[in-house]
């Protein structure tokens, strides 16, 4: 309780590590990434250090002990995560304190942009979370995925995680999940939209390991060229108050592509509760809403999933459809492949930079759907008049025609002489030479989906 009073902005800032309490106030100024340690001020530094192995050395421990101001009281009870039977969200798992919470119930949170560039594969604890419903209580041993609609004379089948692992070859893919509403807050600056106000970090990149949906279906007798099968429905264990599960569908041809997995591992660990334990369908190149978590059902069909989330959401209307208009959901197709996207993670808008630094260091991510690799990322110091090419970090195992992972970019942009602020812009180009629109004028839609206009960050220049 005492520690909590010494949070970010307090006169003296404390953190705890195990049972020790440390005053980091004087240290922050000199620490590389001092702003990051401030995220832990007033609480435990342990979950942050878990992300950075370089802290677990004797030298670091010695420095830390030099800042010690006391110890936690072992008799003070740890805060209890109470289960409240009247609150369906009370069994949700604990989360990393650095996540930027957009909505607590259902839990929706962005990766903190300041930590996003530290890892090509987003650590599981920092992977953005987009839940539509309470996290279901699943069990590794008893969980089953049911396969339906296999065709005449073929019975439905239920497979456990163990059976999937035993029967099919293991594959992995490093692949992005991005929410259809990512950067909605940015689109709202153009004109009001409805939905969770994601800033631009409802996107993460992980290594997913599992079995190919294709291998499972072919083994169960499905012909990859069967033209009567058009869509594959997916359902999760998460249910709404009426008992209806979350559902979505993907085109059959995509479902039969080698990159689509029934995954059981995320970054070489069992998939965490928030991300679909024990099974998630990973559909690289496609919007997150189709990558169904807590997977319980795969159904072959000649039509799209009738689920609300397939039929009445995740479709981007024309800018001509205004608030108050009746929404003709059938007039627009369900979102599958994502269009090209990029955004800055660093610096934050409003940051002040010294003119004598000469340059502004910028960094962020770029990604496009459908496996279309990023062929360049360009940044502008002046609102788009001039452009510089950024350095790109990509998955060396993926090529430009099958790039499921994101591209991280970094650049040092020269500070033009005489300016007191810079309107920095980023835009990317994909393998099909698709680019991002300059503004939301042509893509604004009432639900604020798929905002991918040029991302701007303004910094101040100090003499």
Contact footprint for its own copies (CB under 8 A): 251, 253, 316, 318-320, 332-333, 335-340, 369-370, 372, 375-376, 378, 384-389, 400-401, 427, 431-439, 441-443, 450, 454
Catalytic residue among 52, 55, 376, 388: 55
Least separation in angstroms between CB 402 and its own copies: 9
| Pick 95 or 451: Cβ nearer its own copies | 451
| Pick 280 or 427: Cβ nearer its own copies | 427
Catalytic residue status for 55: yes
- Residues 402, 206, 47: CA angle, nearest 5 degrees: 165
Helices (H) and strands (E) in the chain, counts: 10, 25
Least separation in angstroms between CB 44 and its own copies: 42
| Pick 306 or 442: Cβ nearer its own copies | 442
CA trace torsion 191, 196, 202, 208 (10° rounding): -140
10 Å CB burial of residue 31 (0-12, 13-18, 19+) is middle
CA distances 33 to 114, 157, 314, Å, are 9, 52, 37
Question: Which of 422, 407, 394, 430 shows the shortest CA–CA distance to 343?
Answer: 407
Least separation in angstroms between CB 391 and its own copies: 13
Catalytic residue status for 275: no
| Pick 214 or 427: Cβ nearer its own copies | 427
Least separation in angstroms between CB 190 and its own copies: 12
Residue 268 zone, left/alpha/beta (φ > 0; ψ -120 to 50; rest) = left
Least separation in angstroms between CB 258 and its own copies: 10
Backbone CA torsion sign across 429, 358, 120, 132: negative
CA distances 390 to 123, 412, 423, 442, Å, are 24, 8, 16, 26
Least separation in angstroms between CB 15 and its own copies: 44
| Pick 135 or 316: Cβ nearer its own copies | 316
| Pick 281 or 449: Cβ nearer its own copies | 449
Catalytic residue among 6, 95, 96, 130: 130
CA distances 433 to 179, 373, 374, 430, Å, are 23, 10, 9, 5
Catalytic residue among 31, 146, 154, 308: 31
Catalytic residue among 96, 143, 168, 179: 179
Catalytic residue status for 130: yes
Tokens read off for 433: 């030479």
Catalytic residue among 314, 365, 451, 456: 314
Alpha-helical segments (H) within 52-171: 58-65, 113-116, 161-167
Task: Supply the residues annotated as catalytic.
Answer: 31, 55, 130, 179, 314
């Amino acid at each position: 309780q005492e520690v909590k009073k010494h949070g970010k902005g307090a006169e003296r800032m404390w953190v705890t590590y195990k049972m020790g309490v440390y005053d980091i106030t004087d240290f922050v100024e000199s620490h590389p990434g001092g702003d990051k340690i401030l995220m832990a001020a007033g609480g435990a530094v342990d979950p942050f250090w878990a992300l950075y192995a370089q802290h677990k050395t004797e030298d670091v421990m010695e420095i830390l002990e030099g800042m010690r101001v006391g110890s936690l009281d072992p008799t003070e009870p740890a805060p209890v995560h109470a289960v409240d039977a009247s609150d369906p969200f009370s069994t949700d798992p604990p989360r990393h304190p650095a996540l930027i919470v957009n909505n607590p119930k259902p839990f929706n949170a962005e990766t903190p942009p300041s930590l996003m560039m530290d890892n090509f594969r987003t650590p599981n604890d920092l992977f953005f979370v987009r839940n539509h419903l309470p996290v279901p209580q699943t069990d590794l041993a008893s969980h089953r995925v049911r396969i339906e609609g296999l065709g005449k004379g073929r019975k439905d089948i239920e497979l456990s995680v163990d059976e999937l692992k035993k029967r099919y070859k293991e594959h992995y893919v490093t692949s992005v999940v991005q929410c259809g509403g990512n950067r909605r807050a940015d689109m709202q600056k153009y004109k009001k939209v409805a939905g969770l106000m994601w800033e631009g970090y409802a996107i993460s990149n992980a290594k997913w390991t599992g079995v190919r949906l294709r291998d499972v279906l072919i083994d169960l007798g499905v012909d990859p060229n069967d033209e009567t099968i058009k869509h594959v429905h997916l359902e999760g264990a998460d249910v709404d108050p009426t008992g209806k599960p979350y559902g979505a569908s993907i085109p059959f041809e995509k479902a039969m592509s080698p990159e689509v997995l029934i995954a059981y591992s995320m970054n070489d660990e069992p998939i965490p509760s928030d991300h679909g334990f024990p099974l998630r369908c990973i559909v690289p190149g496609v919007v997150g809403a189709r990558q169904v978590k807590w997977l319980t059902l795969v159904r072959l069909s000649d039509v799209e999933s009738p689920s609300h989330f397939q039929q009445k959401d995740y479709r981007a209307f024309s800018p001509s459809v205004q608030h108050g208009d009746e929404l003709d959901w059938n007039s627009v197709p369900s979102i599958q492949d994502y269009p090209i996207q990029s955004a800055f993670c660093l610096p934050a808008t409003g940051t002040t930079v010294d003119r004598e630094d000469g340059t502004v260091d910028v960094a962020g991510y770029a990604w496009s759907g459908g496996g279309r690799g990023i062929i360049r990322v360009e940044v502008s110091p002046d609102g788009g008049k001039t452009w510089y090419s950024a350095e790109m970090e990509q998955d060396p195992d993926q090529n430009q025609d099958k790039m499921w992972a994101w591209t991280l970019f970094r650049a040092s942009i020269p500070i033009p002489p005489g300016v007191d602020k810079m309107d920095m812009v980023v835009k990317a180009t994909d393998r099909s030479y698709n680019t991002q629109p300059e503004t939301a004028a042509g893509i604004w839609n009432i639900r604020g989906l798929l905002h991918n206009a040029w991302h701007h960050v303004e910094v101040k220049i100090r003499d």
